[in-house]
Chains A and B, each alone.
Chain A
Amino acid sequence: MNKAAIVAYGNTKFSTDDIPIESLLLNSTKSLFEHTPNLTQKDIDTVLVSTNDNAKYLSAILSEIAGIQPKTAHTVESLCNSGTNSIVSAYSYIASGLSNVVLVVGAERKNSPGQVLEWDNSRGEYKHPIFWGTIFTKSHKREFGTTEEDLARVSAKNHKFAKDNPNAYSNKVFSIDELMNSKILTDDLRVSDCSRPCSGASAVLITSEQVSKRFTDRPVWIKGIGQKTLSAGFTKNQSFSSMKSTREAAKIAFEMSKLNPSDIDIAEVHDAFTVCELMAIEDLGLASKGEGRKFVKTLYETENRKINPRGGLIGAGHPLGATGIAQVIETTQQLQGTAEKRQIENAKVGLVHNMSAAATSSTVLLLQS
Chain B
Amino acid sequence: MSIFETELKKGNFVIPECPACKELVWPPSDYCSLCFGELKWKKSDRIGKILEYSRKEDTFFCLAEFEKKIRIIGTLETNLKHPDIGKKVKLDSCSIDGPNYNFTLVLI
By a beta-carbon cutoff of 8 Å, the part of chain A in contact with chain B is 118, 120-127, 131, 134-135, 137-139, 142, 185-189, 233, 235-236, 240
Contacts and interface: CB of A to CB of B under 8 A. Distances in A.
Among A126, A135, A137, A138, the most chain B Cβ lie within 10 Å of the Cβ of A126
Interface string B26-68: 1100000000000000000000000111111000010100000
B74 interface: yes
Contacts of A120: 27
Contacts of A122: 26-27, 71-73, 101
8 contacts: A122-B26, A122-B72, A124-B72, A125-B101, A135-B73, A138-B52, A186-B54, A235-B73
A240 B50 CA distance: 13
Given A125-B102, A127-B100, A131-B61, A240 B52 contact: yes
Given A131-B73, A188-B54, 18 more contacts: A120-B27, A121-B27, A121-B101, A122-B71, A122-B72, A123-B72, A124-B75, A124-B102, A124-B103, A125-B97, A125-B101, A126-B73, A127-B100, A137-B54, A142-B85, A236-B26, A236-B71, A240-B52
Contacts of B103: 124
Rank and list the top 8 A-B pairs by shortest CB-CB distance, nearest first. Answer: A235-B71, A187-B55, A125-B100, A126-B73, A134-B54, A186-B56, A121-B101, A124-B73
A1 B102 CA distance: 51
Given A118-B99, A121-B101, A135 B72 contact: no
Nearest to A133: B54
A89 B17 CA distance: 37
Interface residues of B, number: 22
B51 to A, nearest CB: 7
Contact of A185 (B53, B56, B85, B99): B56
A124 B51 contact: no
Nearest to B61: A126
Nearest to B72: A122
A309 B72 CA distance: 37
Contact of A135 (B54, B74, B99, B101): B54
A142 B71 CA distance: 20
A218 to B, nearest CB: 47
B51 A187 contact: no
B100 A124 contact: yes
Contact of B73 (A123, A142, A186, A189): A123
